[in-house]
Amino acid sequence: MSAEQKIILGSRGSDLALWQAHYIKDQLEALGHLVELKIIVTQGDRVQHLSFDKLEGKGFFTKEIEDALLGGEIDLAVHSFKDLPTSSPEGLEIAALSYREDPRDVLLIRKSVYQPAGTFGLAQKAHIGTSSARRKAQLRTFFPDCTITDLRGNVPTRVRKCQDGQYDAIVLAAAGLTRLQLDLTDFETVYLEPEVFVPAPAQGVLGLQIRQGDMRMAGILSAIHRPDVAETVNIERGILAAFEGGCHMPLGVYCKKTEDGFVVYTAKANTADELPVYVRNTGKDAAELIQRSLDKANVTRTPSVLITREADSWPLLTRLLSDRGLQVHYQSFIETFPLSVADWPETSWVFFGSRNAVKYALASKPDLLHHKKIGAVGPGTAQMLAEAGYKADFEGRTSDVEAVAAQFADMISPLTTVLLPLGAQSAGTLVRCWQKRFQLTTRTVYDTRLVTETPRQAEILLFTSPSNVEGWLASGGNPTRQTAIAMGKTTFEAMQAAGFKEPVVAEGYSELALASTIFGLR
C-alpha cells in the first residue's frame, strides 16, 4: 500500500479520546487500510480552570481538530459526537457514526457517604462534582440542597479527585467508564436511567468527520457507519439544533426506537441554576418529534393545577411546576383509615401496589419486610419504601399496571409465594393478572371514605384515583370545564364515565412523568 493511501486520523490526547481513536483505527485496519494517529491539543484541553459553560464559543473540544482537517493535516477526525456543534464548519461533514455505548450517566458515590434509602443512594446535602450545565440543572431537580462545584480533567483525573475526598460524588458518562475499564471498587456505582436523568444528545456515540467531497474517505467509512444509531441520534441532535444549543446548554435529549416509532425524552433548562422542563413525545415522524419537543419545552402557559392528594404530597412535582410559574394546589376528596389484619402469612415476597399499602402494612406489622424480597408497582411506591428504610428488589417502570404485573410474574417461578397488601377499594388489576401465575395471598390493610368539600378552582385537574373522581363529583365538581389528567387506566375509565371530555392519561406514576404530562398540555 502506497504512502498516498495512508489515512491520517486526528484525535485529542486524553485517555478516552485515544481509546476512541484506536477503536476506529482498529476497525479501519481490519478492513485493510493503513492508519496513522495524530494527536491535537484543543482549547478544552488547555483551559482546565473554567467550567464548560464559561468557555467561549462552541466546539471547544473540536475546533483545532477541525482546523487540521480543513488544512489537510489529517484525513479523518474522531469526536465524541456529543461534543460537536450541530452544524459542521463549512467544508466538513460527518461521514459515519459508531455503535452507541451505554448512553446513561453514572453517579460515583464514595462508599462512606452512600445511603441506600436516599435518592440514587445519595444524601440530600451531598457535595457533587460536575462541570456540565445539563447535569447541574438535573441534579438540582433531585437534590435541591446539594452543593455542586466544577469538576474538570480527563476521566481518570475526575475519578481520583472523588477518591481523594474532594467530592462526595461525581457524575460521569457511563460510556467513558465502560471504555476505559477503570477500577471503581472504591465507589458505589449508580447508573441513572436515561428516561429519568436525561443524557446529552448523542452521548456514547463517536462522530467521524471528513472534508466535504472527500469521496475516498466517504467510501471507506461507509463500511463502518451505523445507520440504526443515526436514526435515533439524528433526532436528539435535531432537537439540540432547534434550541440553537451547544455543549454548554442545559439540555438533555434521549431517543429510543419502539415498535410504534420513537419515544423522545427532553429535559431543558435555561441556565444551570434553573430546574428543567421535562417532556416526553412519541411518534414516527422525526421532524414532528423535534418540533413538538421544542414547543413543549418552551412552556409559556402559567395555569393553576389541582392535584387530588394530601397537601404537598409530591415536593419534586411541586418544585418543577412552580419553577415555571404554575400554581399548584393539593386537595384530596378521600381519606384513608387502617383495617386490622388478624394473621400475616409467611411468604418470600411482599409486593406493594400503592404508597398507602406501604404505609398501612408497615404500621400494622413493622417487621413485615424482614428477610423478604420486596416489589413496588412504581417509583412513588418504591420511594415510600425507601423512606421507611427498604429498597425494592423489583420496581415497575411503566404506568401500565398490567405490563408491570407481567414483568414481575415473568421474573419469578410459579411456586413463589407473594403477599399483596391492598386497599378495600383497590381495582384488583394485580390480583386478576396474577391469579394463575404464582402463589398469591392478599391482605386488606386499609379502606377509604369520601370527603365532601368545595373543590378549589384550577385550569388543570390531576386525578390520582377513581375514588377521588367520585369524591370530586360529590363535592360539586363540573367535569365539562377543565383539562383533566388521569393517573392510570382505572382512573381514566372513571373519568370517562363521569363525563370528562377527552381526559389525558398520565405518562407514568413518577413525579417526573406527571410533570412531563402537565408540561405537554398545550
Does residue 10 sit in the same domain as residue 71? yes
- Give me the amino acid identity at 358: V
Question: Across the strands, what pairs with 235?
Answer: none
Q: Determine the pLDDT at residue 44.
A: 61
Q: How far apart are CA 470 and CA 463, in angstroms?
A: 10
Q: Which of 53, 83, 105, 168 is catalytic?
A: 83
Question: What would the mean pLDDT of 205-220 be, rounded to a whole number?
Answer: 97
CA 335: distance to chain centroid?
A: 33
Which contacts qualify for 497-503: CB closer than 8 Å, 24 or more apart?
498/469, 498/470, 498/473
Is 489 contained in some domain? yes
Does residue 339 sit in the same domain as residue 478? no
Q: Determine the pLDDT at residue 49.
A: 47
Q: Determine the pLDDT at residue 245.
A: 67
Q: Is 83 a catalytic residue?
A: yes
Residue percentage of the chain with pLDDT more than 70: 95
Q: How far apart are CA 166 and CA 108, in angstroms?
A: 13
Q: How far apart are CA 461 and CA 272, in angstroms?
A: 30
Is 267 contained in some domain? no
Does residue 13 sit in the same domain as residue 51? yes
Is 121 contained in some domain? yes
Does residue 371 sit in the same domain as residue 514? no
Indicate the pLDDT class of residue 47, thresholds 50, 70 and 90. Answer: low
Contact 412, 349 (CB under 8 A): yes
Higher pLDDT, 43 or 460: 460
Is 258 contained in some domain? no
Contact 381, 404 (CB under 8 A): no
Question: Across the strands, what pairs with 11?
Answer: 39
Name residue, grid cell 474538570: 152
Is 222 contained in some domain? yes
Per residue in 142-194, pLDDT tens? 999 999 999 988 999 999 999 999 999 999 999 999 999 999 999 999 999 99
Is 294 contained in some domain? no
- Give the end of a domain, one of 388, 418, 449: 449
Name the nearest CA neighbour of 276 among 323, 313, 214: 323
CATH number of the domain where residue 184 is located:
3.40.190.10
Does residue 92 sit in the same domain as residue 109? no
Q: Determine the pLDDT at residue 54.
A: 47
Task: List C-alpha distances in Å: 492 to 15, 20, 255, 404.
Answer: 52, 49, 27, 18
Count other Cβ atoms within 10 Å, centred on residue 63.
17
Does residue 427 sit in the same domain as residue 348? yes
- Give the end of a domain, one of 396, 427, 449: 449
Indicate the pLDDT class of residue 522, thresholds 50, 70 and 90. Answer: low
Contacts of 52 (CB under 8 A, 6+ apart): 44, 60, 131, 132, 133, 247, 248
Name the nearest CA neighbour of 161 among 187, 133, 181: 187
Does residue 340 sit in the same domain as residue 419? yes
- Asked if residue 242 has pLDDT above 70, the reply is yes
- Give the end of a domain, one of 407, 433, 449: 449
Does residue 441 sit in the same domain as residue 470? no
Name residue, grid cell 440514587: 120
Does residue 148 sit in the same domain as residue 215? no
Contact 340, 364 (CB under 8 A): yes
Does residue 216 sit in the same domain as residue 316? no
Indicate the pLDDT class of residue 4, thresholds 50, 70 and 90. Answer: low
Per residue in 5-39, pLDDT tens? 899 999 998 999 999 999 999 999 999 999 999 99
* DSSP per-residue string spanning 429-487: HHHHHHTTTSEEEEEEEEEEEE---PPPP-SEEEE-SHHHHHHHHHTT--TTSSEEEES
Is 281 contained in some domain? no
Give the angle subtended at the CA of 264 by the CAs of 263 and 268, to the nearest 5°.
160
> Residue 154 sits in which domain range?
105-192
CATH number of the domain where residue 443 is located:
3.40.50.10090
Per residue in 96-144, pLDDT tens? 999 999 999 999 999 999 988 788 989 889 999 999 999 999 999 999 9
Name the nearest CA neighbour of 352 among 314, 315, 390: 390
Number of independent structural domains in the chain: 4
- Asked if residue 56 has pLDDT above 50, the reply is no
Indicate the pLDDT class of residue 46, thresholds 50, 70 and 90. Answer: low
Does residue 47 sit in the same domain as residue 109? no
Per residue in 280-301, pLDDT tens? 999 999 999 999 999 988 877 7
Phi and psi dihedrals of 408, rounded to 5? Answer: -65, -45
Mean pLDDT lowest among 114-118, 354-358, 454-458, 501-505? 114-118
- Answering whether pTM is above 0.85, one says yes
Is 311 contained in some domain? yes
Does residue 414 sit in the same domain as residue 457? no
CA 260: distance to chain centroid?
A: 20
